Amino acid sequence: MPDSASANIFFKKLKKVPFLFFKNIKGDWTSYVKDCERLYKKHPEYTSDVNAKPWDKKGKSMTDDFKVYRDAGYTKHNSKIWKTTGKKEKLTLEWEEKIAEQLPLENYIVTPTLQTPGQTLPYHVDQFLYLKRNTNSEYILRFLIFMSEWKSGHYLLVNDEILHKWRAGDCYVWHPDSPHIASNNGLENKWTCNVTGVYKAKI
């Protein structure tokens, strides 16, 4: 069970900063990215964009919100995102647990995510629909791991602060209420890995 006192302390700490560098997650990131590239080629249908139809009815309100992005000029050509949870049946890689066990989370979901060059995930706040429904916890948190060394043109904007120049395995976290934008304006694929779960005090 999560220790609510320490969860409160951690969430309060996150409220005070745009984002927090948590730690560098150990792993063979070069081979993990290769595994992800293979999975992407095998399952391109896990790609979505601002025209996406939800595979889950509960996701409907979220995709209705995409109208604001379409009205702003986002299209299927500049908002593509591929992730292993892009369809009902999650794709799983064998090293997911090795990564997640380095984080203070339980009931976690590991989601490798790809943005190809020219794609943007516009301004949003994470919803955590699946975990909220399944855990009822108020301490759901997402850690973001950068799977490769930073390349020029790869950015995140979190609470209006730029996050860039990361190292492979660097893991960041921010308060769940924080708006953010992810963009690949570079020349190479940008791979990140979300680990989302319920905060627990000790690992």
Q: Footprint of Fe ion on this chain (CB under 5 A)?
A: 126
As measured in angstroms, the least distance from the Cβ of 146 to Fe ion is: 14
Cβ proximity to Fe ion: between 21 and 30 the closer is 21
Element of type H or E holding 32? helix 29-42
Nearer to Fe ion by Cβ, of 121 and 198: the residue is 121
Residue 33 contacts residue 147 (beta carbons within 8 Å): yes
Task: Name the strand (E) or helix (H) holding 76.
Answer: none
Least Å distance, CB 126 to Fe ion, is 4
CB of 28 to Fe ion, least distance (A): 26
Comparison of 126 and 138: residue with beta carbon closer to Fe ion: 126
- The span from the CA of 194 to the CA of 163, in Å, is 15
- What is the rounded CA–CA span in Å between residue 90 and residue 77? 24
**Residue 124 phi, psi dihedral angles, 5° rounding:** -160, 165
CB of 157 to Fe ion, least distance (A): 11
Closest to Fe ion by CB, 35 vs 126, is 126
State which residue has the least CB distance to Fe ion: 126
What are the residues whose beta carbons fall under 8 Å from the beta carbon of 6, sequence distance 6 or more?
A: 201
